[in-house]
Amino acid sequence: MRAVLYARFSSDNQREESITAQLRAGREYCKHKNYKIMKEYTDEAFSARTDNRPSFQKMIADAKRDSFDVIVFHKIDRNARNEYDYYRYKAQLKDLNVSLEYVTQNIDNSPEGNMMESMLVGMAAYYSRNLSVEVKKGLRENAYQVIHTGGKPPLGYDVDSTTKKLVINEAEAIIVRLIFTRRAAGTPYGKIIEELNLLGYKTKFGNSFGKNSLHDLFKNKKYMGTYIFGRVAGGHSEKRNSHKESETMIEIPNAIPVIISEDIFLQVQRRMADAKHSPGSGRAKEMYILSGLVHCECGAKMVGGRVTSRGNIYSYYRCDKQIRTLSNCGTGRIKKSDLEKMIMDEIENKILSPDAIPRLTEELNNAIS
């Protein structure tokens, strides 16, 4: 019997050694059953609440290639903590003539075995969901105490190692104050980014500033002292970037050291609202048929845009990376009409012309033969 082993751990309460122990027990099990181990799959720090696990998916793909006959898990909860995923993949594997076995849980195909399997799958799912509820409860309690609940703090703040609360990082706060002051005064995003790059300032992650990073910074109420937890609604069934505010959001004013005054913060919000609702000459629609289809020498996509000079509007294609980060990869603007004409001429000469038909037919035949 050809067998593979699958081992997994997910939480801080489990360590890499737990995978080693699972594999050791699995090898002993296969030795006792006279199974030949074809391969071992491991997912480290991946939850079984979903099937989004690289090695698990690789194992399913290998099963479709008739690479083995049985998968050996340590326990059912190493396989899945979700009833739907468990039985969906069990059915798929059954169709592939691949069976599931567990080192510490002897489950056969008898009615009693099926009942035991259902109970163990349900218990694994219950444990996972109950743990999620308890974790969220703990995080919310920390939030009420204005304790940082994880992740990298915003630019301008650090986390005090003793109190676990946000404290000002003065070197970064200087950058935040500069950005807000400039925007409140009406300085465009591009000019702010140019100044930041000139001064060598970086984001919290060490990257150059772009329009998106500035926008996220401007919307963060923490800078005027408001603590927020659970702002975005979401979870396993909804994208985290949906921007839909959660009904259970916790918002506590005057709870964090202030970097930006409320007056400056609100001025910036008004600037953003005005820019969003202002039609502007640059918002007129124009078709850029090659946008995203051609690439800059640096590998980034070329996108369409317009420039106004002395009252005249000029349309160009330009490197998207340059637009977002104001970096200079060496490729300048390419006139829209010139690039589109060049591409259309190439299409007409190499694809649409009568002389191209025999060549394309030969190439197609070679590709499918």
Please write the tens of the pLDDT for every residue from 307-316. 777 767 788 8
Instruction: Kindly report the CATH number that applies to the domain delimited by 2-129.
Output: 3.40.50.1390
pLDDT above 90 as % of the chain: 35
Look up the pTM and report it.
Answer: 0.46
CA distance 174 to 355: 65
Residue 143 pLDDT greater than 90, yes or no: no
| Amino acid at the residue 96 | L
Please write the tens of the pLDDT for every residue from 247-269. 567 788 888 899 999 999 999 99
Q: In what order do the strands lie in the sheet with 2-9?
A: 36-44, 2-9, 70-73, 99-102
Please write the tens of the pLDDT for every residue from 226-238. 888 775 544 444 4
Instruction: Kindly report the CATH number that applies to the domain delimited by 157-277.
Output: 3.90.1750.20
Q: What is the mean pLDDT of residues 221-230?
A: 87
Are 130 and 102 within 8 A, CB to CB?
Answer: no
CA distance 22 to 43: 12
CA distance 336 to 318: 9
Residue 35, Cβ density class (10 Å: 0-12 exposed, 13-18 middle, ≥19 buried): buried
- pLDDT band for position 368 (50/70/90)? low
Q: What is the pLDDT of residue 279?
A: 47
